[in-house]
Amino acid sequence: MWISQLDLVGWRNHDQSSLTFTQGTNILVGPNGQGKTNVVEAVRYLSTLGSHRVGGSSALIGDGHDRATIFGNLRHGDRDVSVGVTLKRTGTSDATVSGNSVKISEIPRWVSAVMFAPEDSAIIRGEPGFRRQFLDDLVVGASPAMAATYADFDKVLKQRNSLLKSLRSQPRGADLSTLEVWNASFVSLAADIVSHRLQQWAAILPDVTAAYENLATGQHITARYLPKGFVADEGASREDLASVISVALDQAAPAERERGMSLVGPQRDDMELLIEGQPARTHASQGEMWSLALSLRLGTASWLKADKPSGDPIIMLDDVFAELDSRRRAQLVSAMGHYEQIIVTSAVEEDIPQELSGRVFDVLAGAVTPR
């Protein structure tokens, strides 16, 4: 897969930008803060319906605009598919596929992309939310229909938390029938999410492990999923997960009512990454951290390439070469050589290895100019 045309209107600092990409390497060059990352973030949004930098959509809509539109034309072999998303400050978002209106959750079915960015270091050393986001992007990339499940879960979680807050002031004998209804929906959706996280992580782990052993010259990595408030075996079925989550909710009920919030569920889970048996979050060196962060993305890309009908994902390298030593640069370039399309951003063109020469765009103050 590759993207041949990308149009942005009201997206971040791009009032109106139109880019015609080519197969192979495309390079976005410009000083920091001019809008390079905003371009690749738009492609990433089409593949995951999320940003790697902010939560929600309001920050993605440019100042002075009440909406932001991303339109892309994608090549799947001999087939062209156009996808579009319009985010609004008020009201629901709109989406189209080849000119036909669709639910926004349908868009990731048509766009496969993997992004490498300096923010990836937070997956290793940051708070649990960064690792949850990595897992959830992975799930949506592999099973696009799960985008709707995540949207439904967010709605149920908000409703459940709102109800729990209201119950804080109610006597112990208050009617809990409404909470029980929300609990049933919560358990079903939570079990779907945890099940897909476990399955998808297990699927890409061999590719992640192989990438890390190559980058870190033989070091071994492992990982374990850390559910909050319940136990989830790696081979647990969705039904088993629903059962243990339901029991955990019952056990947590007094504490949840006291605190007015949901204390069990995928919104609180974590994943622990280990290098030679030691937690990477606290024990990894700077080099090990970058090797592991790159391996997570390389493993994801390798799995998508081998198992997804769309074939190659679009590879985006957002200002990563400035962070890497010469050995890791060479290894990353070698790993990227067989993908159909690569989009690279850099503040300094000299940071980009010569092996990744290609079409160049200058980006300045939200304006994109092809050379």
Every domain of the chain and the residues it spans:
1-112+311-371, 120-307
What is the Cα–Cα distance from 300 to 115, expressed in whole angstroms? 10
DSSP alpha helices (H): ranges in the chain?
Answer: 36-48, 121-125, 128-142, 146-167, 177-215, 238-259, 280-283, 286-307, 326-336
pLDDT for 148 equals: 92
What is the pTM assigned to this prediction?
0.90
CA 332 to chain CA mean position, Å: 20
231-262: b (≥16 Cβ within 10 Å) or e: ebeeebeeeebbebbbebbeebbeebbeeebb
pLDDT for 175 equals: 66
Nearest to 24 by CA among 75, 80, 86: 75
CATH of 1-112+311-371, one of 2.40.50.140, 2.60.120.200, 3.40.50.2300, 3.40.50.300: 3.40.50.300
Residues for the chain: how many in total? Answer: 371
Tell me the one-letter amino acid at 233: D
Nearest to 105 by CA among 139, 61, 135, 81: 139
pLDDT for 56 equals: 81
Strands 314-318 and 14-20: unpaired
CB-based burial of residue 119 (10 Å sphere; 0-12 exposed, 13-18 middle, 19+ buried)? middle
Mean pLDDT (the chain) is 93
Dihedral (CA of 10, 14, 15, 18) sign:
negative
Taking 50 as the pLDDT cut, the residues of the chain under it are none
What is the Cα–Cα distance from 144 to 136, expressed in whole angstroms? 11
CB-based burial of residue 371 (10 Å sphere; 0-12 exposed, 13-18 middle, 19+ buried)? exposed
CA 129-134-137 angle, to 5 degrees, is 120
pLDDT for 174 equals: 62
Strands 314-318 and 341-346: parallel
Contact 68, 53 (CB under 8 A): no
State pLDDT tens for residues 314-345: 999 999 988 888 888 888 898 887 899 999 99
State pLDDT tens for residues 15-51: 999 999 999 999 999 999 999 999 999 999 999 999 9
Query: Is the domain 120-307 a CATH 1.20.1050.90 member?
Result: yes
Domain 120-307 in the same topology as domain 1-112+311-371: no
Contact 95, 103 (CB under 8 A): yes
Q: What count of Cα atoms within 13 Å lies in the side-chain half-sphere of residue 150?
A: 25
Q: 């109800």: which residue's tokens?
A: 163
